[in-house]
Amino acid sequence: MKRKARKLPMFFLTLAFTMIFFTGTAMQVTNASATEVKDASREEVLSLKDVYKDYFLIGNTVSPGDLTDSAKYDFMKFHYNALTPENATKPDSIWPNATGNPSFTAADKMLTQVKADGFYTIGHALAWHNQSAGWPPSGLNYTEARASLQKYISTVAGHYSQGPYKLNTWDVVNEAMRDNPENPTDWRKALRSDINPIERPSRWFDAYANGGNGWEYIYDSFLFAREADPDAILYYNDFNDEEIPNKAIAIASMVKELNKKYANEHPEANGRKLIEGIGIQGHYNLRLNVNNLEEVLKIYSETGLEISVTELDVQFNGTSSEVQPTKEQYKEQAVLYAKLFMLYKKYSDNIERVTFWGVADNNSWRSTGYPLPFDSKRAPKEAYWAIINPEAYLGLEELPPKLTSFKFGADVFNVEDKKEFDVNVPTGVSSIDFSAANVAHKYDDKVDVSVKLNPASGAVSAGKPAVATVEIARKENPNISTKYTINFGHMTGEWEKDQNYSDTGFRSSVNIRFSDGKSKLKLFQAFYNKDDGKQAMLNSKEFKPLPKHTGGRLTIQTDKSIDPDDLKNLTLKKSLWDQNWMPIIPARVKDFNTPENFWRLAKTIESGKTYIVVSSNSSLALTNRNVPSIPATGGVTNAKRGIAGTPVTIEDGIIKEPKQIQDNMRFIFKESASPDPGPFTKAKGYTGYTMLSLVHGGLVAPTILWRDLSNDDTAPLRTDTTIGDRALDRAVWFNTGIDPKTGETTLFSHTGSSHYTYALHGNESGFVGQGGTGPLGNYTDNSRVKLYEYVSNYLYEDSKSLGIKISLAPVERIVKERDAKIPVTAEVPDGSKAVLVKDGVSVATAKFAKGKATISVKGSDVDAGSNYAVVINDGTKILGAVILPVVTVDKATPLATVEKLNGKQNRLKVSVKELHSDGSTENFSEEILIKNNATDVYQVGPYKVYVETKGNDKIRNCYIVKE
């Protein structure tokens, strides 16, 4: 694996560069320092690979024809040190027909040359749903598909594992994930299959699913590639992972699980991972949110894998071969490229390579979007100058000040390049005190540091962290600052969705935050019969403490999957406890006959949230698929091109059918400003949204829903191309407010300058825009829609017990420093043990006989500052547990009465009533026969009570004797 040289301080590294004039092919070589880069004449073009030689490789694509174009190839050798065959190593190019033989000649000749010229080379791609018409052959079952996959990968990857054309890296699996999975940690359900997405499903998945598990082709692909080429770095490569984190979370979950599986099955690998890299394709447009991309880089960095940007380009929105970008747009593109490369430099310890997808605009598959740093003549565009020195281009020659560390309690946190931290707060602390005095920097008194706490009191409670926003800026330039977010919280967890898998069994997972660094966490799945409520199965796992102040994902599974019919007769309660048998979070209870996750009628719209849009007229869900014509029926005035609809069945505000929602039925609503809103402004109560569907058909670039130009009452709708910013009035959708009873609203776009208003209108054939130049009210009544949001409906309960039903009555608590006998009743086999544990350590045990056991505990073992539980096991596994509270005695009140009997005898009744710290009470009493006028000390339960009587019905004194 290539090792990068460490970076020198910014603006002081030495760069080797060459001066090149693009009026010809002659080149002159010279040198310059980084400080000269920002002042360089725009006739001086620096080598991109040299500018970034201390950060990462700079790559591009290569095709056989490039080697015969000497000027182009010289240009490539000058700027790049890594090359990816654009098409030559894809299945359709190298082995289009599985019944024939592979043809390596063209790729071999090309790769032999580029390897001889010193390029790092990447094979692209082995397992893919696209450009792979012959693989897998149709009609295969699982066994045949696995053999076919092994044949293809071992042949192709094996061929390029040696010789003058040996490849350094392979994109083994390409684009296997759906674009916006609802439950991203469930990566199996996030994969492309025959159901999702309807465009370009994975045929490898479907072939494996014919008699096996569809998802297993992912692991097999990497396994076969490792066997065929032990030296190659193996990558998973994908796109559209930057808008929302779901896809990135699914990818990260997948690679971590498969690498763990490989480590368990192949100890001879000595820790080398099976999947060693994640590729972010980087097919962007100018609406990219760079902050979202940083979240993706964080997610991937946490996997410990190297990252590469594998197919970078940034296209304009709304351009074409006839409509070229303006000067202002070129600058906008440059600014985005500058932000990207600043971000890549920030994460360069994790990033191995940045590859552009195309040498120049005319070489790009997105050529009408002018997406690359060089124009069709290979002359540098504004974006190039931004890339070679992004800080200077963005006006950041003076870098913002940074913190070096901060303190909390006895811990010191080194900040380095991190901007967000999770800090554990001890459970006994209910509020934190954090101010500028807690942070350290190296700027003496030349900076201002501000700290804002939310809530301002610093209050911390279970599941509700306090958040400190720290900002540091130079006093003479307060606009250039660095912000940090510090989350202070008690250790907690968040449950993930359960899944029943045929390969790993029924699985439950929980995400931990704010680890205290010492708790060994115990995770349980308890299954109960629905008819009698008795435990059917309990499985558990204890985990080593997570590092302090960190988070992690804990997972357990049954030994095998559970039959779906059996699940219908079970409920599940999953619990998380620490080593002291105290629950961390409430237990989640699941009824398998009730859906946990579903699409429900929404009563609000939130920016960044995903919705399904359903026409009230037709009960069709808006679906990102172009329809040539929506006929003039059902309220549509003129037949126009439109967007498809999918029938849905709705009961009680919940979508019941289809069971599996297609990706292209889901739209992300993102708050956006219209350039020409007319009266529909924020000030007047209107919020605009773009509607983005991430699933791609013919385009990788996510496109938003917009209405085309129209001169009548019906406007065509489109998602198949991008729309320019100046025309966003036709892509920003307002709403009339959601009716609180029906959930109905009207989504409409408006162009203020032309007075055109078009409502999103659905009939039985699909969706168009219906409207005109009249008042909004003319179009709202017949163009009503409902929005549906994805929700989770879980039942929670505070955990005081788990597993089998355990009764401790009548002793349901123990008292500080008091001996006790604890009766335990449970339906367990004879010989099972009931163990009293104190802070996780056994202090007393008893064996069961006929469902009963009695634990004797000494008062010296009963401490109010400790946690107690009764745990039952059969010698090999835990059967159940119940918390046993410890109380202190707040008050003990004695009472005595005397009753005259025959002769000189009286009956004395002495009692003591205890009031406990939890508000409970307990009574002790004794009856004693006495003579008249008795005085004595009597033992009443654990108390000695002095009682003095006078006469046959008088109590002169009654009090507890202090020992």
Residues taking part in catalysis: 175, 311
Structure tokens that stand for 950 in this block: 């006078």
SS3 15: strand
Question: Could you give the strand order of the β-sheet that contains 587-591, starting from the edge strand earlier in sequence?
Answer: 535-543, 521-529, 570-577, 587-591, 795-797
Among candidate residues 495, 525, 518, the one with its CA nearest the CA of residue 586 = 495
Angle between helices 142-159 and 216-228 (to 10 degrees): 30
Question: Could you tell me whether strands 351-356 and 405-408 are parallel, antiparallel, or unpaired per DSSP bridges?
Answer: unpaired
Q: Would you say 887 and 862 are in contact if contact means Cβ atoms under 8 Å apart? A: no
Among candidate residues 560, 662, 652, 576, the one with its CA nearest the CA of residue 612 = 662
Following DSSP, what letter does each residue of 804-839 receive, concatenated? S--B-TT--SEETT--EEEEEE----TT-EEEEEET
Give the span between the Cα atoms of 128 and 122, in whole angstroms. 16
Cα dihedral 206/207/211/212 (nearest 10)? -70
Give the angle subtended at the CA of 143 by the CAs of 141 and 144, to the nearest 5°: 65
Give the span between the Cα atoms of 612 and 284, in whole angstroms. 25
List helix spans (H) across 378-481.
382-388, 390-393
Instruction: Kindly report whether the peptide bond that precedes residue 245 is cis, defined as omega within 30 degrees of 0.
Output: no
Sequence-separated (6 or more) residues with CB below 8 Å from residue 39? none
- C-alpha 524: how far from its chain's center? 23
Structure tokens that stand for 306 in this block: 């190297």
Q: Would you say 638 and 578 are in contact if contact means Cβ atoms under 8 Å apart? A: no
Q: Would you say 345 and 294 are in contact if contact means Cβ atoms under 8 Å apart? A: no
Among candidate residues 586, 591, 577, the one with its CA nearest the CA of residue 528 = 591
Instruction: Give the number of other CB atoms < 10 A from CB of residue 130.
Output: 13
User: How many residues can be counted in the chain?
Assistant: 963
Question: Could you tell me whether strands 785-792 and 597-601 are parallel, antiparallel, or unpaired per DSSP bridges?
Answer: antiparallel
Following DSSP, what letter does each residue of 866-883 receive, concatenated? S-EEEEEE-SSSEEEEEE
Instruction: Give the number of other CB atoms < 10 A from CB of residue 464.
Output: 11
How would you class 481 by CB atoms within 10 Å of its CB: exposed for 0-12, middle for 13-18, buried for 19 or more?
A: middle
Write down the residue that tokens 């290979």 correspond to. 378
Give the angle subtended at the CA of 53 by the CAs of 49 and 58, to the nearest 5°: 40
Q: Would you say 123 and 160 are in contact if contact means Cβ atoms under 8 Å apart? A: yes
Structure tokens that stand for 157 in this block: 């990857």
- Tell me phi and psi for residue 668, to 5 degrees: -90, 125
List of E strands, 226-323: 233-238, 277-280, 283-285, 306-315
Q: Would you say 614 and 744 are in contact if contact means Cβ atoms under 8 Å apart? A: no
Among candidate residues 24, 26, 879, the one with its CA nearest the CA of residue 537 = 879
The separation between the first and the last C-alpha atoms of the chain, rounded to the nearest angstrom, is 76
Sequence-separated (6 or more) residues with CB below 8 Å from residue 829? 848, 874
Sequence-separated (6 or more) residues with CB below 8 Å from residue 963? 944
Q: What's the one-letter identity of residue 306? A: E
Write down the residue that tokens 């909390």 correspond to. 408
